[in-house]
Structure 1
Amino acid sequence: MDLKETDILGSSIDRHWYYASKAAATMRLLGTTPYRRILDVGAGSGFFSHHLLTHSSASEAWCVDISYDADSDATTDGKPVHYRRSIEAVDADLVLLMDVLEHVDDDVGLLKAYVEKVPSGSRFLITVPAFQFLWSGHDDFLEHKRRYTLAQLEAVVRNCGLTVKQGAYYFGLVFPIAATLRLLPRGAQPSPPRSQLKQHHPLVNTILKTLCNIELPFMGSNRLAGLTVFVLAQKP
């Protein structure tokens, strides 16, 4: 996750409808298959690793991000978390790339590099923002290169030698709201680079979280539309 968004939401990030719902979707897609060691690529604050360490049997996480000032170590729920600017081969059985591939010019090259660092059988959970037509100043603010369709992300994953296990869109019920807001005419000038993520009134936050909770049981079958693309894949 992007550190710019961590700065905006601060300590309340786990209560924000977007991140709370995304964490719940991550848990649902991973299912009951056990995993021990997490490699979190482009981890930022490590929000998703921390969530999985707290809510699953995972025992250790390696969070990698070039934005870290220096390597460091910490714990979450008594489990070790290693923050690294880079990493070589690691015996991880779950690799996270949560909103990472859209930040780089060569998405296939980056993903391939990490496929080579982990053993056969490792699972990859990847998320990216959906649909290029939803491009806005939010993407400029986060320095995105592109947005994806589900088919495009699945193609990237397969080009890296991974087997797609499941692919879906999420945030489908809030998609019409977000699409309307982003596509409303704003005159001749494009929207300025700024984050659309913000602290909401508790009532608004609850409503949006409830919509996502309603969608959650059905997300695995949503190949139509949403704000985020999820793909779960595995290294043969």
Structure 2
Amino acid sequence: MEAAEIRKLAALEDKHWWYRERRTVLARSLDALVRSGEKPGRALDIGAAGGGNTRVLRDRGWDATALEYGEEGATVACGRNIPVIRADAVALPVADEAMDLVVAYDVLEHIEDDKSAAQEIARVLRPGGTALVAVPCDMELWSEHDTAVGHFRRYDRDGLLSLLASARLRIEEVRSWNVLLRPAAAWRRKRSTGSDLDDLSPLLNFGLSAVIAAERYLPVGRLPGVSVLVRARRPDPAGGRRADH
């Protein structure tokens, strides 16, 4: 993603409906891990940009580090007192089996060699560790927005699951996100001439926030959406849980 888009994202992410709800999605996923018996440990937020999701991880008790390829995003994260590493997701400067959790929200589509990135996620996860992945879905929604923000592709479910399975990650959950607003997104994308990352009026931002928040309580995860969310795990032959640090 270009520096101008990173600056725009950093300025908007605390109030923009999409980024706010994405942080809620992450928080709910983390809470579900805790309910299943997982204790917060070491986490890596790949493609963190300004570190919005990294803050969620740290607020939930994870020892989280942001990883960002570009200088602009890393600078923003540092300015927010977030530990950050500048590196490429296809060559993570992290030891084997060092992480209990890896978050890759809206990053794989920016990487030409997404297979190597998926393999790196699996490599740095401990046996039994969890990967939380989100990607934009459906090439029918491809538009100038995707080009402007540096996407190489949009995914279908089978393609994403095959990618993660090729890295020997076991899929535990897959669902669509941004389902209710997909018709509006499709309409908007057909008319897109660049990035759709805009500062919206408070009323429109409130309305979109309310619609997407409704998905938390509706059984729409199997319907076509704008994004796909996956929870996957690196298999643990021993079947044990992480020891406390």
TM-score w.r.t. the length of structure 2 is 0.82
1:188 match? none
Tell me the residue number matched to 1:57: 61
User: What letter is aligned with 1:67?
Assistant: G
How many residues matched?
A: 224
Aligned to 2:230: 231
The answer to whether the Cα contact below 8 Å between 1:64 and 1:87 also exists between their aligned partners in 2 is: no
1:36-77 CA distance string (max 9 Å, x none): 2211112221211112212x121x22222221379899597x
1:31-46 mapped onto 2 (5 Å cutoff): 31-33=32-34, 34-46=39-51
Match of 1:67 among 64, 70, 77: 70
Corresponding residue for 1:187?
none
Given candidates 86, 94, 98, the residue that maps to 1:88 is: 94
2:181 to 170, 174, 178: 174
The separation in 1 between residues aligned to 2:162 and 2:109, in whole angstroms, is 14
Q: Which residue of 1 is the match for residue 198 of structure 2?
A: 198
Assess if the C-alpha contact under 8 Å between 1:62 and 1:84 holds in 2: no
Residues 130 and 228 in structure 1, CA contact (< 8 A), matched pair in contact too: yes
**RMSD of aligned Cα (Å):** 2.6
1:98 aligns with 2:78: no
Q: Is the 8 A contact 2:99 2:125 kept in 1?
A: yes
Kept in 1: contact 2:121–2:131 (CA 8 A): no
CA–CA distance in structure 2, aligned partners of residues 147 and 233 of structure 1: 19
> Which whole-Å CA distance do the structure 1 matches of 2:187 and 2:72 have between them?
39
Q: 1:74 to 1:36 in 2, by over 3 A?
A: farther
- Identical columns (%): 29
Q: Does 1:23 align with 2:50?
A: no
Which segment drifts farther, 113-122 or 1-10? 1-10
SS at match of 1:64: strand
SS at match of 1:95: strand
TM-score, structure 1 as length reference: 0.85
CA contact (8 A) 1:103 1:143 kept: yes
